[in-house]
Amino acid sequence: MTSNQISPPQGKLWMAAIKPPMYSVAIMPIWVGSAVAFRETKIFNLTIFSLFIAASILILAWENISNDVFDAETGIDQNKHHSLVNLTGNKTLMFWVGNLCLGLGLLGIIAIALWQKDPTIIGIILLCCGLGYIYQGPPFRLGYQGLGEILCFFAFGPLGMGAAYYSQTQTWSSTNLAASIILGIVTSLVLFCSHFHQVADDIAAGKKSPIVRLGTQAGAKVLVVFTTIIYPLILLFVILNIFPICTLLSFLSLPFAVKLCRHVLENHHQPDKVSNSKFIAINVHFLSCLFLGLGFIFG
Ligand SMILES: C/C(=C\COP(=O)(O)OP(=O)(O)O)CCC[C@H](C)CCC[C@H](C)CCCC(C)C
Ligand SMILES: O=C(O)C1=CC(=O)c2ccccc2C1=O
């Protein structure tokens, strides 16, 4: 957005900066991982579950706040009115607010580890935080090389869900690993969608996002392929008896998946129109994961 355009009201900018719907990506690995654990062991510890959800939200808040801090350093966010650094005008404050969120989130994880008398999940979550840091922080900034989706897949898929399952059971599960592939893909789709409307700013700042590399048209086709893959994969896991039949409930997210693919195929080259695609992707994420979890509990 250029400086001579009227910027939206402050309240809207703050909501866009905090992005509440995005926290679905922090909650769902814990929800589905705990649901798989409950199905397989009949164990469900509500205290650990609640602590893990809170910790995960705080860690994602750190990721997002520090994303605005690091992006302020490269100049990529100079036209982004809803950057927390641009809204507050105080990069140092945001840096420390982010670190406070990280510290509190890690305290939650340490509390779970102490409860379990087992440090395993501390190691896994530190690894997730490391992936979050190398995505955006100096000197790595791997997101600027177009590698964010791979990091995202592992952080919210096998690692995040592995930690959630382990926090309930102190063991591992191949079913949970299979489910984590679905979560990893559907979370990476959200990140992939977030690049379509930012091509001009990304090129100007030297960020080679996947959409800068592929172009918006090929990017839209890649999005369709990965969105479409999710459903046959779930069906395959049901046929192979890895998932219970009720996990097919996750197909209720299909209308949003179709809407997402159509919307991006039609508008990939129009930043103003395609900018909401990541929120359609969040609907796909939320519904598919919600019903996947319910499918494991009731299947
Ligand atoms: C911050 C992220 C995306 C924003 O990227 P971008 O710079 O394009 O955004 P703007 O356009 O809004 O500036 C997400 C990055 C995800 C990262 C690869 C992995 C993060 C891992 C988390 C720290 C893991 C926490 C949850 C876990 C406990 C389940
Ligand atoms: O602001 C964003 O675009 C995103 C923030 C975020 O935390 C996240 C997490 C996982 C996948 C994608 C995203 C975003 O796109």
What ranges in 89-139 are assigned the alpha helix state H?
A: 91-116, 120-136
- Rounded CA-CA distance 39/295 in Å is 10
Q: What is the full DSSP assignment across 7-57?
A: PPPHHHHHHHHH-GGGGHHHHHHHHHHHHHHHHHH----HHHHHHHHHHHH
φ, ψ dihedrals at 171, nearest 5°: -150, -175
DSSP 8-class letter at 155: I
Q: For residue 3, give the 3-state DSSP assignment.
A: coil
- Rounded CA-CA distance 209/134 in Å is 15
Is 167 close to ligand 1, i.e. is its CB under 6 Å away? no
Global pTM reads: 0.96
- Rounded CA-CA distance 124/131 in Å is 11
Is 135 close to ligand 1, i.e. is its CB under 6 Å away? yes
Candidate from 194, 211, 260 with most ligand 2 atoms within 8 A of CB, to mutate: 194
ipTM of the complex: 0.98
- Rounded CA-CA distance 76/71 in Å is 6
Question: How would you write the pLDDT of the chain (299 residues) with one tens digit per residue?
Answer: 444 456 678 999 999 999 999 999 999 999 999 999 999 999 999 999 999 999 999 999 999 999 999 999 999 998 899 999 999 999 999 999 999 999 999 999 999 999 999 999 999 999 999 999 999 999 999 999 999 999 999 999 999 999 999 999 999 999 999 999 999 999 999 999 999 999 999 999 999 999 999 999 999 999 999 999 999 999 999 999 999 999 999 999 999 999 999 999 999 999 999 999 999 999 999 999 999 999 999 98
pLDDT computed for residue 5 by the predictor: 54
Listed residue (258, 262, 247) closest to 299, CA to CA: 247
Measured in Å, residue 282 CA sits from the centre of ligand 2 at 9
pLDDT computed for residue 9 by the predictor: 86
Listed residue (205, 230, 218) closest to 285, CA to CA: 230
Candidate from 190, 276, 280, 284 with most ligand 2 atoms within 8 A of CB, to mutate: 190
Is 60 close to ligand 1, i.e. is its CB under 6 Å away? yes
